[in-house]
Amino acid sequence: MLITILLALLFAPPAERSTIPLGLDLYRPVPETNPLTPQKIALGRRLFFDKALSRDYSVACATCHDPKLAFTDGRPVAFGIHQRSGTRNVPTLVNRAYGKSFFLDGRAATLEQQSIEPILNPREMDLTLAEIKARTGLEPTEVSRALASFVRTILSGNSPYDHFINGDTRALSAQARLGLNIFRGKGRCITCHIGPNLTDESFHNTGIAWLGTQLRDPGRFSVSSNPEDRGAFKTPTLREVARTTPYMHDGSLTTLEDVIGYYDKGGNPNLGLDPDLRPLDLTAEEKRALVEFLRSLSGTIREGMR
């Protein structure tokens, strides 16, 4: 493993201008304490795919964040070593450089903190800090900084939607344009899915965590202890949403049609339901148009220094 890391550092590509895909904020936040370098990104990428970071050498970061699935895993909830089941759906890693907090409950304030937690989690990769150093020859902080650097380069943009709002009126079909109008208007989607990354990076109780009066997952409340956060989860980006099935924090909705149907009904009633959720009364045509628009948010995914 140590030889692999040394080779990664020795043969890392020279520094080059890292382009931001069309549609994203051109300012990509990077902390002064962990600047992006080609060497660090190359190391982070190798670590991302390295199963030596799991106790039984069976899973890597890429096991749950598969590039072929827009850095998700296609399962309702994650599975770690020995097929230990997690409790939540795997969020995509695209455009997390723009994130304000991390994990569905926002418990990590930085990508550096987020990147090390799955390695330490007994349900996921199940190593200790000492074992990380023994297996990699690197301090855990070096591992977390390298992984965070790589994740900051995973960007998705250049979608048909981006081309449309940049002046190419032929980039969206008539049906997708109708869907965009519904997204901005009757569907009220833009209330939470706003900005270049199509998320407000905030937390909302959409009712998915509730079964009648029973709260099945406390969500943000487990972090904030604020009663208003019971059952609230972070708004996900809609970038690449057609490729990141299943949906919601528990993976309980299989298709985009299911998601739209859920919101059309106004969500699951509960005392803390977000006030912006209400029945939409969408027609069948409007629902199909909204699905078509959401599919237009899939574009080009880039990772690394390019």
Q: Are residues 92 and 78 in the same domain?
A: yes
Q: What is the pLDDT of residues 71-121, one digit of tens each?
A: 999 999 999 999 999 999 999 999 999 999 999 999 999 999 999 999 999
Question: Which amino acid, residue 196?
Answer: P
Closest Cα partner for 200 from 211, 186, 185, 189?
Answer: 189
Q: Say whether pLDDT at 9 is over 90.
A: no
Q: Are residues 26 and 49 in the same domain?
A: yes
Q: What is the pLDDT of residues 271-295, one digit of tens each?
A: 999 999 999 999 999 999 999 999 9
* Residue 141 lies inside a defined structural domain of this protein: yes
Domain housing 162 = 157-300
Predicted TM-score of the model (pTM): 0.92
Closest Cα partner for 228 from 182, 167, 271, 282?
Answer: 271
Q: What is the pLDDT of residues 121-169, one digit of tens each?
A: 999 999 999 999 999 999 999 999 999 999 999 999 999 999 999 999 9
* Residue 87 lies inside a defined structural domain of this protein: yes
Task: Please state, in angstroms and rounded to a whole number, the distance separating the CA atoms of residues 83 and 102.
Answer: 24
What distance lies between CA 159 and its chain's CA centroid? 17
The mean per-residue pLDDT over the stretch 43-48 comes to 98
| Residue recorded with tokens 């902390």 | 31
* Residue 306 lies inside a defined structural domain of this protein: no
Distances (CA, A) of 208 to 121, 190, 214, 217: 25, 19, 11, 9
Q: Are residues 151 and 183 in the same domain?
A: no
Number of domains in the chain: 2
What sign results for the dihedral spanned by CA atoms 234, 240, 242, 244? Answer: negative
* Residue 99 lies inside a defined structural domain of this protein: yes
